[in-house]
Amino acid sequence: MKAEYRSISPSPGSSFRTSIFEGKEFIASWHFHPQYELTYILGSSGIRYVGDNMANFEYGDLVLVGSNLPHCWKTVGEQKEEVRCIIIQWDEDLLTPWLEKEEFQHIRQMMQLASRGIHFPKEEALLVEKKMLELIDLPPFERLLSFLQILQELTKAHHSCLAGEGFTTNLTVKESERVNLIYNYVKEYYNRQITLEDVAQKIAMNKDSFCRFFKKTFRKSFFEFINEYKISMATKMLINTDLTASEIGYKVGYNNLSFFNRQFNKFVQMSPSKYRKMYRDI
């Protein structure tokens, strides 16, 4: 799948773009664009990639992505509902005349942090859901005012940065193509035994060159990445199925239960049973 540099055109009669995406799965590959992007998930679940960060997403997931920061959302496994999300995209120029004003200091600070991607907690994302949905049908002037109010409300929310401080956003198109191939390969074969030779051959590199490329791009080894992916899949199964931890470990590609438990603790900081109990208590 070829990565794309995407240029986003504003909505008709507007200086920024507001849209709702609906479909069986996300069609966008690993991509980047100069526009800032605020994405709110209304339906479906899967794994979200922002820079070198990987995490599960579900209803209520709200993320702000900065200019030229690579990202994509991927559905995984059998879906109970179709993908539905609202996406707001805008050029930095939209706010440039105002960003130095005192009233915009918090929005300015938030947009600076967006260079690493920002995730907002679900309970705070739900507070702006209604306003985001209303943007679609508002007249252009009212849409702009409401958009500014949404940004201001988000500056008051707790948030966490996604990509690591050292993640580079200046990937070439060829490098982005490689990342897409890696993502798609891992998605298809994560529960099997993947070797460095297998994935390196997939992107037409030798093993050593692949390891250097992956470490430079993601600031982690490929095996750290694939274990993180397996554990992300395991957390979804712990929430959505009644399979035992050992059955889930086997399904995501671990033949050794103690190793599965160690990896789960490493990435989630708790045992599979404690993780499941925490969500069921919620």
Blockwise average pLDDT, block size 10, the chain, 282 residues:
51 85 82 89 90 89 91 80 92 87 93 93 94 93 95 93 75 76 87 90 92 84 90 86 92 92 90 86 60
DSSP structure class, residue 213 = H
Q: What is the pLDDT of residue 82?
A: 87
The residues near 255 (Cβ < 8 Å, ≥ 6 apart) are none
Cα separation, 205 vs 175, whole angstroms: 12
Q: What is the pLDDT of residue 108?
A: 93
Considering only CA atoms, which of 226, 224, 217, 219 is closest in space to residue 178? 217
Considering only CA atoms, which of 106, 121, 116, 118 is closest in space to residue 155? 106
Amino acid identity of residue 1, one-letter, is M
CA distances from 54 to 12, 227, 270 (A): 34, 11, 18
42 membership: H or E segment, kind and range: strand 36-43
Cα separation, 71 vs 89, whole angstroms: 14
Of the chain, the end-to-end C-alpha distance in Å amounts to 39
- pTM for this predicted structure: 0.72
Q: What is the CA radius of gyration of the chain?
A: 20
- CA 95 to chain centroid, in Å, comes to 24
For 213, phi then psi, to 5°, come to -60, -45
The residue to which tokens 């605020």 are assigned: 38
